[in-house]
């Protein structure tokens, strides 16, 4: 009997935890800014606005790059410093509506690579970016451990058997982002979360409602 009560208590705790993840659909609450308008030198390749992503489908109706303002301004500072080194950031993803998170989860229900929509992603809060480094003069991507959204062990930040130049480039990107308050996800060298992401709500506001 005690085991049954304990089990029911645990299930109730989980349910309360998931129920607490409220998803906001009020556009007036979404304090997102267009990162590219803050710094037009940033390169954009918003993969989920194309079919060139792991789903093979176009998930976003437009190539928008939105973040909460503190994260956006910090990312611009990162890019400014990198440009002084002859480098520039390329952005693959930023804010992602919660409804789009559900689509990604249906394809890859693996929390190492796709956040469970029951808890939501930092992307859904406008507090995460997927990025890489490019040569400022040519726009060519620098060598990195893997391609974007490569769900292999080599995508891990501490993976073995990574070419030295790729590891050095990845470490350079990680250090530059850390200086401005971003923390890298361990299993995805390209993914960075902005500090204080917990203070921002999960959002399910379509890009069309937020403007181009």
The residue annotated as part of the active site, out of 73, 180, 188, 212, is 188
Q: CA-based angle 58:170:186, to the nearest 5?
A: 70
Q: Can 188 be counted among the known catalytic residues?
A: yes
Q: Which residues are catalytic?
A: 188
């Amino acid at each position: 009997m005690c085991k049954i009560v304990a089990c029911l208590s645990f299930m109730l705790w989980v349910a309360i935890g998931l129920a607490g993840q409220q998803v906001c659909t009020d556009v007036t609450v979404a304090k997102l800014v267009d990162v590219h308008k803050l710094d037009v030198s940033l390169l954009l390749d918003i993969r989920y606005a194309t079919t060139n992503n792991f789903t093979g489908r176009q998930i976003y109706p437009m190539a928008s790059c939105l973040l909460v303002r503190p994260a956006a301004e910090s990312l611009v500072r990162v890019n400014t410093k990198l440009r002084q080194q002859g480098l520039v950031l390329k952005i693959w993803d930023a804010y992602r509506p919660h409804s789009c998170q559900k689509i990604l989860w249906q394809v890859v229900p693996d929390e190492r690579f796709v956040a469970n929509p029951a808890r939501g992603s930092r992307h859904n809060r406008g507090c995460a970016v997927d990025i890489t480094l490019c040569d400022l003069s040519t726009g060519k991507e620098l060598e990195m451990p893997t391609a974007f959204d490569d769900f292999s062990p080599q995508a891990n930040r501490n993976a073995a058997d990574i070419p030295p130049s790729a590891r050095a480039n990845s470490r350079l990107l990680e250090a530059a982002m850390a200086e401005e308050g971003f923390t890298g996800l361990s299993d995805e060298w390209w993914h960075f979360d902005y500090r204080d992401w917990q203070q921002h709500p999960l959002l399910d506001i379509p890009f069309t409602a937020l403007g181009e």
